[in-house]
Amino acid sequence: MSKKNSKILFIVILALTFLSIVATSYRYLVIRDYEVYDDTEEELLEEVDELE
């Protein structure tokens, strides 16, 4: 009985993991809902400072 329950538990966690992966890919790959910070200039200035 406990083995059967464990099996159900694994199926539930696998299903949730699958849904979570789908949601993550939908957010970042499909609707591209994320913040972008352009720090290229800051990095360049830092490199210049280091060189000086």
Partner 1 sequence: MENIRCAFDAPTYLIISEEVTALIYYSHFIAIFAALSISLLVFFHNPKLLVSRLFLVFASVLSTWIFLDVILWSTNDPGIVMFSWSMQVLLEPMLYAIAFYLFYAFLYGDIPSFWTNVFVTIILLPLIILLPTNLNVDTVYLSFCETDEGPLALYYTYFLNICFILLTIYSGLKGIKLFDSQKKKAATYFVVGLIIFMLSFTVANIISSLTDNWDISQYGLFGMPIFAALIAYSIVQFSMFRIQMAGAQFLVVTLLALVTSLLFVKSELQRPVTIITIVFTAIVGFFLMRSVKKEFTQKLELENLTERLKKANERLRELDQMKSEFVSIASHQLRSPLTSIRGYASMLLEGTYGRLSEKATQAITRISESSQYMAASVEDYLNVSRIEAGNMKYELIDFNLKDEASHVSDDKRQEAIKKALLLSFKSDMDTHGIVNADIGKTRQILHNLINNALKYTPRGTVTVFAHDDKKKKLMHVDIIDSGIGMKPDELEDIFGKFERAHNANETNVTITGRGLFVARKMARAMGGDVTAHSDGVGHGSTFRLTLPLQM
Quote the CA–CA distance of 23 and 29 in Å, as a whole number: 10
Instruction: Give 32 or 52: the residue with its C-beta nearer to partner 1.
Output: 32
Contacts with partner 1 in 13-42 (CB under 8 A)? 13, 16-17, 20-21, 23-29, 32, 34-40, 42
Instruction: Give 36 or 52: the residue with its C-beta nearer to partner 1.
Output: 36
CA quadruple 22, 32, 29, 40: dihedral sign: negative
Q: Is 51 in the site for partner 1 (CB under 8 A)?
A: no
How many residues touch partner 1 under the rule CB under 8 A: the total is: 29
List the one residue out of 25, 1, 20 whose CA is nearest residue 12: 20
